[in-house]
Structures are given as structure tokens and as C-alpha cells.
Structure 1
Amino acid sequence: MRERITYVQKLGDSLEPSAVTVDSSGISGPEVHAVREDRLTIALDELPPELRSLVTDAQDLHIRWVSAASYELVSPLLARLPPGFHLFYSPGRNNSVSNKLCSTLADIFGEISCSTPAKSFTDLRNGRFQYFQELGGLTHLIEYAKGRLCHPADDNGCSARIEALSTAGSLDVSYETSQNVLRITALWPYQRRRVRAASHPRLRTEVGILSTDKPKTLEAHEVGISGLLTVLGQDSKPSPTMFSFASRHRDAESAFSARFLAPTGLHPTLQLRLTSRSPRPLSEGEGGDARSCHPYAYLTLPRTIFADKYQLSDPLFLASKNLAALRHTTQPVDLEAPEYAMSQWGSAILVQLAPPEPEPEPAPSSSSASRSRGRKSGGDGQDGAEDEWTAEIPLHLRYLAPTRGGYATISVPYPAVFWACEPEQEGAVAFPPNPFEKAHLGYDGLFEEGTVFWHVQPRPPPGSVGDGLLVNEVRVPVLDVEKAGWVNAGTAAAVAVGFAWIVWKLIGVHLRHGYGGGVEREEEKVKKRQ
């Protein structure tokens, strides 16, 4: 079992080796503004039996949980997914999907509502399956982990570390047959935190206090890292380090917000508001050509709401919404089924956005030019209004189960928004692995190898519903169970009246003409005319 604890600071931040204390108990240092990432690598024989049987039945298994709270990340830990519980799964052993998967996930994570993979999962691509649902927190997992991994007689801070998952921004659990180990990675958002890690005799722990760097030798496609590294129980002091690596997840240095336009009705429209028309580093000439990149929104939609792929195939309609194309949607998507009749989790779509062309500016006078330059430069560090633009994604609600009051509220997580810069030549070489690599995100497999993703930070507007959560709510009209009796009685009465009217008309025809009489007289009229 190996552990890696990393504090990642922003560019320009650093910590002197003299500020860090290393001894037999562990490492300690001052407070720093940083993202903390803990990664635990576990061999299969060290896993509990139920987990071991679960992963050995899979070719690869990737569980991603993302908090709905809005938080900040720093390079190179920038890859994002919509808030909620994500699972990407490839079956092993003769491509048979284990029916134990859903029950085991429910035991570990709690409120997992899938029944069996065959009924609840969707086919992603190349024999891989996908599952998603909203999951507000990791309370059940924390209790499960404390009971399986911590021993009351020899705790050594185990319970406290596991309980710290309640404030984590994301949690990843990944297994691949090729590596034959399980990796658990927890990430805490960028904020002020104290450098601290304990040493354990049976656990190799490496601690890094790092920050992004830009040495002169750095290539445009690389990320530079510098800082301090320490192996607890082995090193007596931290060692300075500097390295660089190619990274496919980069910072677009822009933000977006999402909201449903009012009134929502049964066909709500999700509006995305972005603060930039292109990744700012590219527009400044760093790392490529902005013209070869396109913005995308990746949505994971619960079964209560869906997108109509036929509606999103009309070029004129898409252009009116600042959309370019529907790049991907999970299959099949039933356009008529009510929510309570569905077994699949929902659907995921990848929509290519289309930034509007900037309006040409009139030639300014010398005095107005200086004012214009001041507005564009944004002396307060904020984006100018001329860089903002919106895109609208039409969605459709399903009929929901009856409830008291006649209304139900559903929630839809924020999408992941990014710019994808695909390689100009086919067959480009994939990025080599790096210490902070994150793959199997659902949308990354929909692009060519070698694609670079420039991530846009989600940022809810002030005063948004949900106290800044990355979730939008929709109030849906449904059948009121308290009035359902009148509806049933009224429907039965309408059917009875309609049936009686039809019978009355048939009886009237029979009394006037008899059975078949009308047909016989028509035949006589035809014979007379002949």
C-alpha cells in the first residue's frame, strides 16, 4: 500500500525548506493556499473481499464522485465532471456484466438506485457502460470505510482522515486490469490549509508541496512544476524538485454559469453564460491556434429530463441558440416514456457550442481609444462585457409520478464546459501518463487521441438558487394525488357518456333503416340509374 499527499499552489507561490519540519512522526509546516490531493494505491490482496470480487470481475472500473459545491481548482488538477456519482465500467470475463455491481455499490455508497447493469446502465462506446445519479455526499461511504479500514485498538488517526472526506471536492476510485491495483484519489478545493501528514510504519507516504512554474525551457504544451518532495520515514528533510510534463487538461482562464430561463414550463431551456470567446492562453499566443478549438458542454441528465436529438439536428435551430452540433448522446433515449416507467439512469449529451462573431468596432478617436483600451484591459482583473456570450440548450421534462400538492422539484447538475483542441492530423500520439493524469471522464473518449481540454470554471451567479451550488432546480407540474379521485371519476364519466352517445347513434340508425337496409337501398338506386 502506497500513499501520495500533494499540496498544489498557484504560480508564484512557494515554501522554503526551512519552514517545513520532518521527523519520525511525519511532516508539518505553515498554512498555505493550495489544493490538496491524497492518492492511495492498494494491491488487490489488501482489499476487503467484496471489493476484491467486484474489481476482479471488471476489465476496468472508474467511479467519480463530484461535490455540488462550487470550488476552485488549480493547474494541473483541472479535469472536471458534472456534480454527482459517475461510474464507467468495462466488463471482464467473456464480457459478462456482474449483477453484483449495483448491490455492492449500494452497500458502499448508500443511495445508489440502479437495479442491474443491464437495466440501469447505458452503453457508452466500445463495450463500455455508464451510470450516473445525483449523490449529495459521502456519509455512507465514510461509515463503511471506517468500519472496514480502521481498527479501534490501533486507529492512528484513521477515522479522522476518513471523516475528512465530508469536505472533499471529488473522489475517484479506479481499477484497470493492466495495472492490477486499486487507486483511490480524494481532492480538496483550493483554500488555506496547514501542511501536515503523519508517518505510518506499514505505509510508504510521499508528500509534495508543489506549485506551477514556467521555466524558460518549458514547451507550449507542457506544465511546469517545482517545489519540495519528502518520503516520510526515509528523508530527514524535504528535497527541492522541478519537472515538467505534457498535460491534456489545461486552464482556459474563464468561467461560466448555468440557469433555466423562466418560465420553464415542460420544455425548459438551459442557458450557459460564458465569460470568454476563446481560451485566453490561446488568444494570447500560448500553446496553439484558437481557431482549431471549439467549446463544448457535457451534460449528464437524470431520467426526469432529456434532450431531443432530432430537435438538435436542425442547423438553423442550432444557430439561433449559439449551438453548432450535437456531438454525442447515449442510446437509446425514449422520447415518450414517463419517468416512473424508466429503468435507465438517464442520458448524457455532448453539445458543441458556437460563440457568436464579435461585432466590429468603429474606428475610435484618440480620446475614445484610450477609454476603449481601458475597458478591454479590465483594470480590475475582470472580463469585459464584450467577451460574454450565451448559448441555450433546449430540454424536455418527462411526466413524473403523482404527488401531493400537484408539483415536484427536480434538480439538474451543472454541465462540464471546456474547449477541445483536437489534433489537426489523424492518428496523433496520445499524451504520455503524468503524475496528475485523469482519464475515463466520459467525454474524453469521444475525441481523438491527443486532444487538449481547456476547462472553464463553473461559477454560479450571486444570489442563485441553492446557495451557490452547481445545481439548477425546476418546479414541475404533476398529478395531485389529493385530486386524483376527481380525475378518475371525471375520466370514467367522459368515457361512459361517449360510449352511450355512440350506442345511441347506432340504435337510431338501426331503427330507421334496419340492419343492412341502407346498403340495400343504395344498391337499388344504382340499378335504377343503370
Structure 2
Amino acid sequence: MRHRITFYHRNEHGVEPASLQIRDRSLSGPDLVAVREHRVTLALEELPAELRELLREVHELHLRWSTPRAYDTLGPWSSRLPPGLHTFYTPQPASAADSARLCAQLRAVFGDLDCSSPTESFTRLPTDRFSHSTAYQYYQPLDALTNLSTYAEQYACVPGDADCKRWAQGLANAVSLDFSYDTISHAVKITAVWPEGQQNLLIDSHPDHRTEVGILTPDAPQHLEPHELGVAGLLTVLGEDTKPSPVLFSFPSRHKDASSTFSSTFLQPLGLHPTLQLKIDSSSPPLPDSACSLHAYLTLPRTIFADKYQLGDDLFLSSKNLTALRYISQPVDLEAPDYAMKYWGSSVLLELQPPSTQEDSPWTAEIPLHLRYLSPAEGGYSSISVPWPAIFWACNTEEGTKFPNSPFDRANLGYDGLFGPRTLFWHVNPKTEGNAGLNHQLRVPVLDLNRAGWVSTGTAAVVLLGFAYIVFKLVAVYWRTGYSSQKPGTEGKKKTQ
């Protein structure tokens, strides 16, 4: 097992190397205001038995969780996802894609998920578009990692390992979590990130684990490319180093901060065809000399959906400050009610249309959506949750630019598989009001159970009255004209012959 613990702080929040104490396999120092990342790399034999058996049927499995709490990014952790649990999965060619083992394991780790099997609950991704995309996708709103924290403490930590239990309990405060496995590496990487704040600088290392600790800050080495990030700081391998080693290096980064913000709201009145309005505080691309386009990536639970036919009208899109619908997952049934569907929902990638004025000013875009019919409820209203989208600029890098694996690379986010391998993503940060989160809580109209009896009785009465009316008209016609198999006018002709 290998641990990599990284503290990334602003220049003004530095720590003196002399204040760090390294004894045997531990490091201690003064508290530090920083972002903290903890990555654990495990071999298959170090995993719980049921998880090990599952991964033998998997070619690729990537779990991405993002908190519904608003937070600021710093350094290499600029990538954004709609809040909730995102699962990207490719089975082994010889394995059954509809195996229920994956969903059973997800429920055991994360709690009560609406997942039965990949065939029934997952949507397919377009692997024919780019080879680096996985085959299936699943999404579930998930506000916290409480169940995962308990699971890790019980099954991943050996008795008496206090450090492991502290790490597992600390997952409740993380803002993002990644789990990645592929058959090429045959290793599992689990990465958790905690937001910028007061971090306790006290780390102990297990004798059988390799633990690397980095305390880094932004830096700009000479000849830094636009797709790279530069850092400087101190690096220590516990159990091997007796003092921190200074480091200065740069690395390629697919994700960067666009230094702009957006807000998301639903226009009122809501109705059955709500409109999601995005307010963006800047219309200027981050790289003026590169080909950049602004996109919104939505993960919509099955209670709400986008109509690809409506979003195929160029004139309509232009009136909403939209350019084009670049991708929508399939299938999306436009008529089925929520309670008749098994798929998790749909993902949508829309290209936005910033104003073409020279002035960099705030602007809005509107995305038309549609509610599904939900199960009846008392009072005539139900509550649904719709996550905020991820907004980013996708910029093409120069010919020949490569993104080799970097220490903080983050891939398999869903939308990155819809772009080429040389795309650089500049993320627009969500901005909320007060303590509001990144999920829209909507009250939507449904059939009122208190009045459902009158509806069924009234419907039956109308059907019976309609049937009686039709019978009455048929009988009335029979009484007036009678019934005969002869054609009209035949009888008169026979008499004249």
C-alpha cells in the first residue's frame, strides 16, 4: 500500500522547513492553511474479498463523487462535476455486462442507491467517438459519504490502525472522492480532497506502507506552457528521509481555473416545462489566441429531461444563447413517467453562445427542460433534486501537445470522453447565495391523492356516459330506418322491371 499526502497552500500561508519535525516514520509541524489531498494505491490482494471478486469482471471502473457544498478550488484540483456519485464502467469482454454484482457492491459501499444492474440502470456512452471513453454511465444524487466512511472503517482498516480509522472518519468532510481501477495497472487508486482550511500537520506512517508527504505552493518556472502548472515546496518520504527535500517542477494539467463564476436558477413559475437559467459573469475565453468554446454539462435524474428535438432548432437555440446540443445520452423516453423507468436519467452536453460584444460583461443562457409525471402524493406536490451543471471552456491546444500521466491528473469525468485527447478544460466556478448548496430543490405538481378518488370516479362516469350516448344513437337510427341487407334504392328498381 502506498500513500501520497499533499498539502497545497497559497504563498502567504507557507511553513518554515525548520519547523517540521521528522522522527522515524512520522512528520509533525504547525497547522497549515491549505488544500489537502490523500491518495491511497492498493494492489488487488489488499482489497476486501467481495471487491476483489468484482474487479476481476471489470475492464475499467471509475467512481467520481462531488459534494453538494460550494467550495473554492486551488492548484491542480480545478476540475468540476455536478454534485453526486458518478460511475463509469466497462466490463471485461468475457463478462456479462448485466451482472448485478456491481450494483450490489455500490449499495454496500455507498448506501441505498437506485441501481439494479448495468443493463437496466446504466446508460451507454459513445465509445465509438473516442476510445478513451468508458462503455456505461450511472449517476445517483448523494449528499455525503457517511456510509462509505463506515464501510472503510469496518472493512479497509485493520484492528488497531488508528491512522486508517481517522482517515476513514475524515471522509465525511471531503469535497471530492475518486476511485479508479483498470486491468492495465491492476491497482486501485482512491483519492480524497479536503477544501482549503486549517490542516493538522501530524502524519504517522505504517511500517509496511510507503508514505510520501508534499507541502507545495504555486510557482512559475521559466518556459511554463499554457497547459502546465508549476509548483515549489518540500517533499518527504517517511522512513527514508531525515529532512524535507526542496522541489521545483511543472506538470501538464488538463483542468484549470477560468477565474470566473456562474450561478444557476430555475425561472418562475416552474410549471411542467421548467427553464434552467445560467448567469455567467464573463464572456471572454481564458485563451484569446486559442479555439475555445463554452459548455454546460448536465446530469439530470430521470424526474427531469431535455428534449433533443427541441434543442435541434438553431433559431430557438440562438434565442436562448445556446449554440448546439453536442451530446445527449440514450435512450431518453419523452413520454414515460418517472415510476415506469429504470435508467438513472440522462447526461447532456450543451455548447453555450457568449455574446459577441467586445465588452466582457455578465450574461445569461437558458436551458429548456421537461418534468416527467411523478407518482401521486398527498397535497398534489412532490420534491425533486436537480444538480447544478458543470460549466467549462474547452480549448484546443497546439498540434503535438501531449498530456502524459501527471501526479494530479484527473480523467474519466464523463464529459472529457466527449472531447479529443488534446483538449484543455478551464472551469467556471459555481457561486451560491448564503449557505445554499449545489442542488436545486424543486416542488413540482403531481396527482393529489386526496382527490384521486374523484378523478377515477369522474373518469368512469364520463366513459359510461359516452358509451351510453353511442348506444342510444345507434338504437335511434335503427328505430327510424330499420335494418335491411338490401342497398338503398334496390326495392324500387325491382318493381319497375
Instruction: Determine which of 483, 497, 500 is the counterpart of 2:451.
Output: 483
Partner of 2:347: 348
Residue 381 of structure 1: aligned partner: none
The 1:241–1:424 alpha-carbon spacing in structure 2 relative to 1, beyond 3 Å, is: closer
SS in 2 for 1:125: coil
CA deviation after TM superposition for structure 1 residue 62, in Å: 0.2
Which residue identity is paired with 2:425? F
The 8 Å contact of residues 221 and 249 in structure 2, kept in 1 or not, is answered as no
Give the C-alpha shift of residue 332 in structure 1: 1.1
Once the two structures are superposed, the pairs formed by residues 189-204 of structure 1 within 5 Å of their partners are 189-204=195-210
**1:24, 1:199 within 8 Å by CA — same for their partners in 2?**
no
What secondary structure does 1:94 align onto? coil
CA distance 1:512–1:56, shift in 2 (3 Å): same
Query: Matched residue of 1:30: which SS?
Result: coil
CA–CA separation in structure 1 for the residues paired with 2:483 and 2:36: 88
- Match runs of 1:266-415 below 5 Å: 266-280=272-286, 282-283=287-288, 289-290=289-290, 292-358=291-357, 387-415=361-389
| CA pair 16-520 structure 1, distance change in 2 beyond 3 A | same
Contact 1:225–1:242 at 8 Å: present in 2 too? yes
User: Following the alignment from structure 1 to structure 2, what is the Cα–Cα distance between the partners of residues 523 and 294?
Assistant: 78
The residue type paired with residue 313 of structure 2 is D
Of 467, 482, 495 in structure 1, the residue corresponding to residue 463 of structure 2 is 495
- Match in the other structure for 1:513: 481
Task: Give distance in 2, aligned partners of 1:424 and 1:447.
Answer: 15
Equivalent residues in 2 for 1:43-442 (5 A)? 43-94=43-94, 96-97=96-97, 98-126=99-127, 128-152=135-159, 154-280=160-286, 282-283=287-288, 289-290=289-290, 292-358=291-357, 387-423=361-397, 430-442=402-414
Q: Distance in 2 between matches of 1:171 and 1:89?
A: 16
Tell me how far apart the structure 2 counterparts of residues 486 and 341 of structure 1 sit (CA, whole Å): 24
Q: Residue deviations 1:398-419, cap 9 Å, x none?
A: 0000111110011100111100
Q: Distance in 2 between matches of 1:183 and 1:525?
A: 96
* Counterpart AA for 1:40: V
Q: Does structure 1 retain, via aligned residues, the 8 Å contact 2:61–2:87?
A: yes
Residue 413 of structure 2 aligns to a residue in which SS? coil
CA deviations over 1:326-382 (Å, ceiling 9, x no partner) = 00000110000000000000000000000012267xxxxxxxxxxxxxxxxxxxxxx
Gaps of 5+ in 1: 284-288, 361-385
- What amino acid is aligned across from residue 488 of structure 2 in structure 1? R
SS of residue in 2 equivalent to 1:215: coil
AA aligned to 2:188 is L
3-state SS, counterpart of residue 378 of structure 2: coil
Q: Mark the runs of 5 or more structure 2 residues left unpaired by the alignment.
A: 128-133
Q: Cα 1:145–1:499, aligned 2, differ >3 Å: closer, same or farther? A: same
Structure 1 CA distance, aligned partners of 2:482 and 2:66? 74
1:525 CA displacement: 9.0
Q: Structure 1 residue aligned with 2:429, among 443, 457, 469?
A: 457
CA deviations on 1:419-456 (whole Å, 9 max, x unpaired) are: 0012476xx55411100000000000101110000011
2:47–2:156 Cα contact (<8 Å) kept:
no
Cα displacement string for residues 235-269 of structure 1 (whole angstroms, at most 9, x for unaligned residues)? 11111101111211111011111010111110111
Deviation at 1:521, TM superposition (A): 2.6
Residue 520 of structure 1 deviates from its aligned partner by: 2.9
1:12–1:213 Cα contact (<8 Å) kept: no
Displacement of 1:10:
3.0
Aligned to 2:130: none
Moved more, 138-147 or 303-312: 138-147
CA distance in 2, matches of 1:296, 1:141: 32
Letter in 2 for 1:394: P
Q: Specify the code of the residue in structure 1 equivalent to 2:420.
A: E
Distance (whole Å) between structure 2 residues aligned to residue 523 and residue 298 of structure 1? 73
Task: Give the CA deviation at 1:19.
Answer: 2.2
Moved more, 261-270 or 18-27: 18-27
Aligned to 1:474: 442
Contact preservation (8 Å) 1:412, 1:473: yes
Helix, strand or coil at the partner of 1:326: strand
Equivalent residue pairs, number? 488
Could you report, residue by residue, the CA deviation over 1:471-492 in whole angstroms, capped at 9, with x for unpaired residues?
1122111011122111111111
Residue identity over aligned pairs, in percent, reads: 53
Distance 1:13 1:116 in 2: 48
The separation in 2 between residues aligned to 1:514 and 1:169, in whole angstroms, is: 81
Cα offsets for 1:127-148 (capped at 9, x unmatched) = 6000001011111111111111
Give the C-alpha shift of residue 195 in structure 1.
Answer: 2.1
TM-score normalised over the length of structure 1: 0.89
The question of whether the paired residues in 2 share the 8 Å contact of 1:253 and 1:279 is answered with no
Who is 1:27 aligned against?
27
How far did 1:156 drift? 2.4
CA distance in 1, matches of 2:4, 2:333: 45
Q: d(CA) in 1 for partners of 2:34 and 2:484?
A: 90
Q: Which amino acid aligns with 1:63?
A: L
Deviation, 1:16, is: 2.3
